[in-house]
Chain A
């Protein structure tokens, strides 16, 4: 029969409609229907000036706003040839990696809820609140920051911020092991996720999947290592891949555990970035009027969900001519019918949760 996991559903992580053709519990075909959250980001971007696009970029992947802003700011800076100073670079890295931790905590918590385990969600959110408090101290907002501007930052970090960040990391890193004991190494959780939703690496590359979804299939690819930006080449961190410890490589469990391992790597990165901060003015490179020369640029950054790409066409005026966004969740969802072939309804939930989609980014 046709079962509609409609736009309103506790488990589809947003307004996503999945049309399932089932035979009992087994799903023959699963077609996703998107567009319920389409807010015409690309059309808006053509009607406001370059700095005015940044609040719009926040709202695409609302869970990882810092990374969205960062991608756009870097793209325009590259087009204009602006170099930022070391302080801006370090603070940008700290914010991006903290946001990555927050986003992965949300992904892990909601994945636990999908699997029926309600407690890890609250533990993850308790820790995520601490990160959001740090962000609120810096720029006043908890979720949508508008922080990375073209050429610099909106505000400098408040005094004592570095110490607070280090205190948070000292508090948080042992709790990742607690989360693992509660959820990741739980026998029932492993049985639900380890043999489900296998994504072979060549299929993943053909479908343009990037980020933890691709690394979960064993492909060691990370934009921060392969095409470094912001000075990531000077930092010491590992790229975590799924090794198929409980089932075939590329299962839901691999994608999930890659995110947990990445949280630890992000903690390492934040510590190094805090050690490298130098005094300076974060707004010294911000141009009075952002007017890039005519041309185009494609710039990609590593978001928590994958590789976020901005393709900006400029005609030399104050407003962008075309801003096209390549969103990682969009490509992940396009492969959904392939991954979920022959799964059961409970497995469909597991697969959607493991792809870690945010509808704001898919629909823009």
Chain B
């Protein structure tokens, strides 16, 4: 946002505007940029998922819409969803029903504020960045429960309850895994975490010590549970609950849920990239090789690679049962992440 402020300050007569407007306009511009990014990202990720899943299943996926490998398929689908009838079940709670997709989307979208795309490309470099991310991720849970409850449908209720239990449980090992890195950096700010990894591949937290290496995998698996992806997609288990908490949604509201899911996938992959894979830093130290590829592109590439792994896992693995899921979180992930924190703590004190 700083660069936007400077850009705006160079417009003549900009200083004549009242202070409120001068503070508000950069925020608006950043939000619009991120919104456009998320919209294009959502469409791209839907297309990517369809192509990747198709090739894994020995078929082709979208091929016709738009010409080259059906790149405009998600655009066409988005337009179709916009034109659909907006059905609200008669016995549903109208306010909560309409609010639920918005809450879920806000939870995903608000996290983009602190993702460091590049050295100067971050909307707000909060000094409590990681804490803010964990807080905002919980907003989605509220939206999901609202969606499940307001639909007045037993299947949706089941889906909402399962999802709430799952997301809340898995936030704890995920947060602890992130804390291992925060302990070593000494700061919660996302940009500080990235700059601590500058200087080459060996400085990335995933390779710095064995504790953060394991923490990366713990965080990655827990983040799959946060975004309700297979093997943790019990809430939207098609074969059991028809479609879980978004059974009764149609048209644009359903599109919001889907967009929120893909945005969330990108966010958690982005957090993993920032914290463990070096964010916008490159493989070779900047002292040896100047930064050829701009930071945002590098960040996006790393994140998209992690998103590809998420898609890969979805189409290979079956789904865990609810109690097995809970067992995995509380009896496997949590003790391991606690041991990791201990280990990193010892290292930080006794081995500088």
Interface residues of A (CB under 8 A from B): 1, 3, 9-11, 25, 112-119, 122-123, 126, 182-183, 186, 188-189, 191-192, 344-347, 349
Contact B318 A112 (CB under 8 A): yes
Contact A183 B58 (CB under 8 A): no
B323 contacts which chain A residues (CB < 8 A)? 25, 344
Contact B240 A346 (CB under 8 A): yes
Contact B240 A118 (CB under 8 A): no
Contact B315 A346 (CB under 8 A): no
12 A-B pairs with C-beta separation under 8 A = A11-B239, A115-B239, A116-B317, A116-B319, A119-B316, A123-B57, A188-B320, A191-B320, A192-B318, A192-B320, A192-B324, A347-B321
Given contacts A9-B242, A349-B239, contact A115 B318 (CB under 8 A): yes
Find A349's partner among B59, B233, B240 (CB 8 Å cutoff): B240
Give the residue name and chain of the B residue nearest to A113 (CB).
Answer: B239
Given contacts A118-B57, A119-B56, A119-B315, contact A344 B322 (CB under 8 A): yes
Contact A116 B242 (CB under 8 A): no
Q: How far is the CB of A230 from chain B (nearest CB, A)?
A: 35
Contact B318 A122 (CB under 8 A): no
Contact A3 B320 (CB under 8 A): no
Q: Told that A11-B239, A116-B237, A186-B318 touch, could you supply 18 new A-B pairs with CB distance under 8 A? A: A3-B154, A9-B242, A10-B238, A25-B323, A113-B239, A116-B230, A116-B231, A118-B53, A119-B57, A119-B315, A182-B316, A188-B317, A188-B320, A191-B320, A192-B319, A192-B324, A345-B158, A347-B321
- B189-241 residues with Cβ-Cβ distance < 8 A to A are 230-231, 233-234, 237-240
Contact B324 A191 (CB under 8 A): yes
Contact A183 B239 (CB under 8 A): no
Contact A116 B318 (CB under 8 A): yes
Find B318's partner among A9, A10, A183, A347 (CB 8 Å cutoff): A183
In the complex, A3 Cα to B323 Cα: how many Å?
Answer: 19
In the complex, A3 Cα to B324 Cα: how many Å?
Answer: 22
In the complex, A9 Cα to B58 Cα: how many Å?
Answer: 26
B233 contacts which chain A residues (CB < 8 A)? 116
A113 contacts which chain B residues (CB < 8 A)? 239
In the complex, A73 Cα to B226 Cα: how many Å?
Answer: 57
- B296-352 residues with Cβ-Cβ distance < 8 A to A are 315-324
Contact A114 B239 (CB under 8 A): yes
B242 contacts which chain A residues (CB < 8 A)? 9-10
Contact B58 A126 (CB under 8 A): yes
B59 contacts which chain A residues (CB < 8 A)? 122
Give the residue name and chain of the B residue nearest to A126 (CB).
Answer: B58
B324 contacts which chain A residues (CB < 8 A)? 191-192
In the complex, A3 Cα to B230 Cα: how many Å?
Answer: 24
A123 contacts which chain B residues (CB < 8 A)? 57-58
Interface size class of B (residues with CB under 8 A): 20 to 34
Q: How far is the CB of A293 from chain B (nearest CB, A)?
A: 51
In the complex, A25 Cα to B166 Cα: how many Å?
Answer: 14
Contact B322 A346 (CB under 8 A): yes
In the complex, A112 Cα to B315 Cα: how many Å?
Answer: 11
B56 contacts which chain A residues (CB < 8 A)? 119
Contact B319 A115 (CB under 8 A): yes
Contact B321 A344 (CB under 8 A): yes
In the complex, A129 Cα to B319 Cα: how many Å?
Answer: 27
Binary per-residue interface labels of chain B (27-60) against chain A in the complex, 1 for a CB within 8 Å, 0 otherwise: 0000000000000000000000000010011110
Give the residue name and chain of the A residue nearest to B59 (CB).
Answer: A122
Nearest first, the 3 closest Cβ-Cβ pairs linking A and B are: A116-B319, A122-B57, A117-B318
Binary per-residue interface labels of chain B (235-254) against chain A in the complex, 1 for a CB within 8 Å, 0 otherwise: 00111101000000000000
Q: How far is the CB of A284 from chain B (nearest CB, A)?
A: 43
Give the residue name and chain of the B residue nearest to A117 (CB).
Answer: B318
B317 contacts which chain A residues (CB < 8 A)? 116-117, 186, 188
Give the residue name and chain of the A residue nearest to B240 (CB).
Answer: A349
Which among B240, B315, B323 has the highest number of chain A CB atoms within 10 Å? B240
In the complex, A10 Cα to B239 Cα: how many Å?
Answer: 5
In the complex, A3 Cα to B231 Cα: how many Å?
Answer: 24
In the complex, A188 Cα to B224 Cα: how many Å?
Answer: 15
Give the residue name and chain of the A residue nearest to B57 (CB).
Answer: A122
A183 contacts which chain B residues (CB < 8 A)? 318
Which among A189, A192, A346, A349 has the highest number of chain B CB atoms within 10 Å? A346
Contact B319 A188 (CB under 8 A): yes
Given contacts A116-B233, A344-B323, contact A188 B238 (CB under 8 A): no
A9 contacts which chain B residues (CB < 8 A)? 242
Contact A117 B321 (CB under 8 A): no
Q: How far is the CB of A304 from chain B (nearest CB, A)?
A: 22
B234 contacts which chain A residues (CB < 8 A)? 346
In the complex, A115 Cα to B56 Cα: how many Å?
Answer: 18
Contact B240 A11 (CB under 8 A): yes
In the complex, A1 Cα to B161 Cα: how many Å?
Answer: 15
Give the residue name and chain of the B residue nearest to A186 (CB).
Answer: B318
Q: How far is the CB of A133 from chain B (nearest CB, A)?
A: 16
In the complex, A10 Cα to B241 Cα: how many Å?
Answer: 9
Given contacts A113-B239, A116-B231, A119-B56, contact A346 B318 (CB under 8 A): no
A182 contacts which chain B residues (CB < 8 A)? 316
In the complex, A346 Cα to B57 Cα: how many Å?
Answer: 25
Which among B238, B316, B318, B324 has the highest number of chain A CB atoms within 10 Å? B318
Q: How far is the CB of B234 from chain A (nearest CB, A)?
A: 8
In the complex, A25 Cα to B157 Cα: how many Å?
Answer: 12
Contact A118 B315 (CB under 8 A): yes
In the complex, A183 Cα to B322 Cα: how many Å?
Answer: 20
In the complex, A126 Cα to B234 Cα: how many Å?
Answer: 27
B240 contacts which chain A residues (CB < 8 A)? 11, 345-346, 349
In the complex, A178 Cα to B315 Cα: how many Å?
Answer: 15
Give the residue name and chain of the B residue nearest to A345 (CB).
Answer: B240
Which among A3, A116, A119, A122 has the highest number of chain B CB atoms within 10 Å? A116
